[in-house]
Amino acid sequence: MGLISLRTANQLYWLGRYVQRGLDLLHRLYDTHSNETAPVGLRYEEFCECLGIESEFANRDAFLQALFFEKENSYSILFSLTTAYENAVFLRNTIGHEGFAYLRLAFNTLESLRVVNFYDVKPVIDYLYAFWGSLDECADRRVRAMVRWGKWVEIRDLAGRFEDADDKLEKAVGQLQENLHVLEVAEYLNVAQALDREGGIDFTNELFTTIYRP
Amino acid sequence: MQKTQQRGHSRRGPGGYVVLEPDGGAGKNREFKLGYSDLDRLKAYLNRYAITFGLFQDNTFQDRLFPFGTVPRVIGPWEFDTLEKGLRQRVHALNLFLHDIYHERKVLRDKIVPEEFVFSCPAYLPEVYGVRPPAGVYAHLSGIDLVQAADGTWFILEDNLRVPSGASYPLIAREAYHTVCPGLISGMPVRESRDYPNMLGRVMDDVNPGGISVVLSPGRFNAAFFEHSYLAEKMGVPLVFGNDLEVDGEFVYFKDVGGHRERVGAVYRRLSDEYLDPMVFEPDSIIGVPNLMSVYRKGNVAVINAVGNGIADDKGIYYFVPALIKYYLGEEAILRNAPTYLPFFERDRKHVLQNLHRLVIKDVAEAGGYGVVFGSRLSADKRRLLADAIRTEPRRFIGQEVVEFRSLQVFDQHRVVRRRADLRAYVLHGKDISVWPSGLTRYAMDRGSMIVNSSQGGGFKDTWVLSL
């Protein structure tokens, strides 16, 4: 089993969170876009509320533009992918250069776009899925578990914000518990209790400050 | 029109191609062509993986894509055979010199190298006097820079025995050729180079006194961080930063996040001596490993390359290398130095001062193409200032004849141009000494320029060595 330093573990976790945040938001926007008038789609004002952003955009297009491309705003998808990419630069040897390349392609494709066009955005989603697939194929078991830990913490967080169906939350909790065993830390805490608090985010903070050896 | 008919030139237009030009006349009877479309694909392949070489410009780090000259340099088998013998000989002698300097110092007593010349060199480290590195190897990985003159003669320009970088670039480029034009590369036939990570891994194993091997990087903002990461991945060893390691008692350990530790036996460090251990060298270094030197002195960890190697690749010591080969091995140097003068010696100083207008002057303390001055390009005032500096600090400079080295084909915006290029050859020293059958060919970006260094904006090529 590969060795992972505390620094690497922390970056793997954040890599997982930011990749998933980008992917999850792209999916939600895609659904919203294609179902603007249907009950399953969220109106953009509701979308803002779920993300905790003030809904002060001139219209839906301005909102989409900001949510996709405002790199300096931490809620934007480009910000998520930029941060994921920055982490991946550090982690190229750990996640494998194929996985790194898919993330780079996703980042470059999104960065090259100027206006929101869901057809053009589709390859970004494809590349992000390819990233997850490559990680499964190429990365060490503990590395995968650490990135996935970040991924499922993010999924759980967003599922809570957007008030997704219970089965999605349950799935996230199940995945988190599974990964805890691979990460060899299940013995430190009551897992269910840990995941009850802020969807595992509090627990992750503890993980990096107390449980893992700084 | 006449130019396009010359050997090696391309047919223009979208269906154009470049005819490869093997050095040493190999493959005379057969033409090997690379189509323009393949050259474009090769570039795209490397862009996909973000092959970067960072530059600091205006105090800002720019992680720029390393310009890739997609037309490879091709070296014929006989040509490489001579290079290989000469490079092995040179590194063998330099390794013996390093041992001697840090132990018996016979070379000084026998006055092959002036004593004051060694002790005035900042890269000489008294801290490692008497320290024998594991397996007695100092120069595990040497990057030897060569140029080929217009008449085909190879000259050694510089030895790099501290932290030579660059092997990963032709290595990943080779992957690109195998993907984009596998028929061409297997049809030539080109010697396999993708074994480099294993060669380096074997060297580390040869000198490892026990424990895992790691690549120690100074961090993300090092110019060659891509390389640190790529080689660590390909060798299958952890990439670590200073604070991922700790010294406890007699050994160095890697701190795993799960709470356990693994002993480290070999550190392929990509940081300079002065930052390696703040307890011994630069006290403000936050990228090193405190007390690493105490473990190294005990022989419980191999540091690759050995600490203190800088004395052997000092630009002034370069002058003595042919004499060192004779002294240690009893052989004539197979590969020639570029004609060099040491202002440290009065006779040479006189010659340098009289010929400043046609020599190239190098500051021995500088690297990466910095501190290189062509006398012919200086104004009279600047030449006078340089002459004064040479008189005041003769040890600081060397003077060299300008070698008009060969230009190679570079594919640039759908046309083929010629740019001057050198070759960094990699010599690996574990139980045996071997030369990697490839190398980093670096070329100048501008027409007529002789500065090929990556840190000065130069590009790179893969180097294909043909088999017999």
Q: Do A3 and B225 touch (CB under 8 A)?
A: no
Q: Do B259 and A212 touch (CB under 8 A)?
A: yes
Domain that holds residue B196: 3-333+404-465
**From A108, which residue of chain B is nearest by alpha-carbon distance?**
B48
Give the tens place of pLDDT for each residue, B193-217: 999 999 999 999 999 999 999 999 9
pLDDT on residue A210: 58
> Using a CB-CB distance cutoff of 8 angstroms, which residues of chain A are in contact with residue B233?
92-94, 96-97
Helix (H) or strand (E) holding A78: helix A77-95
- Give ipTM to 2 decimals: 0.85
**From A180, which residue of chain B is nearest by alpha-carbon distance?**
B258
Q: Give the mean model confidence (pLDDT) for residues A46-71.
A: 87
Q: How confident is the model at residue A20 (pLDDT cuts 50, 70, 90)?
A: very high
Residue with tokens 């294993």: B198
What phi-psi label fits residue B247: left (phi over 0), alpha (psi between -120 and 50 degrees) or beta?
Answer: beta
If we measure between CA atoms, which residue out of A167, A165, A158, A68 comes closest to residue A110?
A68
CB B417 within 8 A of CB B67: no
Point out the domain boundary residue: B367, B401, B435.
B401
Let me know whether B381 and B425 are in one domain. no
> Using a CB-CB distance cutoff of 8 angstroms, which residues of chain B are in contact with residue A187?
none
Helix, strand, or coil here: B136? helix
Let me know whether B343 and B442 are in one domain. no
Average pLDDT over all residues of chain A: 83
If we measure between CA atoms, which residue out of B435, B409, B211, B445 comes closest to residue B335?
B435
Let me know whether B310 and B453 are in one domain. yes
Q: Do A89 and B220 touch (CB under 8 A)?
A: yes
Let me know whether B313 and B382 are in one domain. no
- Compute the nearest-CA separation of A68 from chain B (Å): 23
Helix, strand, or coil here: B423? strand
Give the tens place of pLDDT for each residue, A124-173: 999 999 999 999 988 888 899 889 989 988 998 898 888 888 888 778 77
Q: Do B49 and A7 touch (CB under 8 A)?
A: no
Distance, CA of A103 to chain centre: 12
Residue B254: which of A3, A9, A104 has the nearest Cβ?
A: A3
What parts of chain B have a pLDDT lower than 50?
Answer: 1-7
Residues forming a β-bridge with B460: B68, B442
Let me know whether B10 and B79 are in one domain. yes
The total of structural domains in chain B comes to: 2
Let me know whether B259 and B349 are in one domain. no
Q: For strand B141-148 and strand B407-411, is the pairing parallel, antiparallel, or unpaired? A: unpaired
CB B87 within 8 A of CB B425: yes
CB B446 within 8 A of CB B157: no
Helix then strand then coil, % of chain B, to nearest 5: 35, 25, 40
Point out the domain boundary residue: B386, B401, B416.
B401
Helix, strand, or coil here: A73? coil
**What does the alpha-carbon distance between residue B352 and residue A52 come to, in Å, rounded to a whole number?**
72
Q: Do B254 and A94 touch (CB under 8 A)?
A: no
If we measure between CA atoms, which residue out of A137, A140, A146, A132 comes closest to residue A181?
A146
- Compute the nearest-CA separation of A90 from chain B (Å): 7
Q: What is the CA radius of gyration of chain A?
A: 17
Q: Do A3 and B232 touch (CB under 8 A)?
A: no
- Judge whether A97 is closer than 8 Å to chain B, CB to CB: yes
Q: For strand B397-401 and strand B372-374, is the pairing parallel, antiparallel, or unpaired? A: unpaired
**From A184, which residue of chain B is nearest by alpha-carbon distance?**
B258
Let me know whether B247 and B346 are in one domain. no
The contacts of residue A167 (CB under 8 Å, 6+ apart) are: none
Let me know whether B215 and B289 are in one domain. yes
Q: Do B50 and A6 touch (CB under 8 A)?
A: no
Torsion angle of the four alpha carbons B273, B278, B279, B284, in this order, in degrees rounded to the nearest 10: 130
Instruction: Say whether pLDDT at A38 is over 70.
Output: no
CATH number at residue B344: 3.30.1490.270
**What does the alpha-carbon distance between residue B242 and residue B272 come to, in Å, rounded to a whole number?**
13
Interface of A with B in 4-33 (CB under 8 A): 4-9
- Judge whether A89 is closer than 8 Å to chain B, CB to CB: yes
Q: Which amino acid is at A154?
A: E
What phi-psi label fits residue B111: left (phi over 0), alpha (psi between -120 and 50 degrees) or beta?
Answer: left
Give the tens place of pLDDT for each residue, B31-43: 788 999 999 999 9
CB B391 within 8 A of CB B444: no
Q: Which amino acid is at A121?
A: V
**Number of DSSP helices (H) and strands (E) in chain A, helices first:** 10, 0
**From A138, which residue of chain B is nearest by alpha-carbon distance?**
B233
Interface of B with A (CB under 8 A): 48-50, 63, 212, 220, 225-226, 229-230, 232-233, 238-241, 243-244, 254-259, 262
Residue B241: which of A7, A101, A105 has the nearest Cβ?
A: A7
Let me know whether B397 and B408 are in one domain. no
Let me know whether B426 and B350 are in one domain. no
Q: How confident is the model at residue A29 (pLDDT cuts 50, 70, 90)?
A: confident
Give the tens place of pLDDT for each residue, A71-88: 889 999 999 999 999 999
Every domain of chain A and the residues it spans: 6-211
Dihedral sign, CA of A205, A211, A212, A213? positive
Let me know whether B409 and B428 are in one domain. yes
Q: Do A6 and B257 touch (CB under 8 A)?
A: yes
Interface size between A and B, measured as CB pairs under 8 A: 65
- Judge whether A199 is closer than 8 Å to chain B, CB to CB: no
**From A4, which residue of chain B is nearest by alpha-carbon distance?**
B256
Which of the two residues, A40 and B187, has the higher pLDDT score?
B187
Let me know whether B303 and B377 are in one domain. no
- Judge whether A130 is closer than 8 Å to chain B, CB to CB: no
Rounded to 5°, the CA angle B151-B155-B158 comes to 150
